[in-house]
């Protein structure tokens, strides 16, 4: 599988975001969205 670190991290974070909303609740999901956006931009 050939992809950049940024692409891989973004895809992994979206998968974890969905799991966070399902199992941990909305507040964790909102923080995860923020962290996903910031990390994707910085990479």
In tens digits, the chain (43 residues) has pLDDT values of 688 888 888 888 788 888 888 888 888 878 877 887 887 788 7
Taking the model in full, what pTM does it have? Answer: 0.53
Helices and strands (H, E) in the chain, number of each type: 2, 0
pLDDT confidence of residue 33: 79
Distances (CA, A) of 13 to 1, 22: 18, 14
d(Cα 16, Cα 34) in Å, to the nearest integer?
13
CA distances from 15 to 11, 36 (A): 6, 11
Return the pLDDT at 1. Answer: 64
């Amino acid at each position: 599988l050939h992809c950049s670190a940024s692409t891989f991290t973004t895809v992994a974070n979206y998968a974890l975001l969905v799991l966070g909303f399902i199992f941990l609740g909305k507040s964790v999901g909102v923080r995860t969205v923020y962290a996903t956006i910031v990390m994707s931009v910085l990479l």
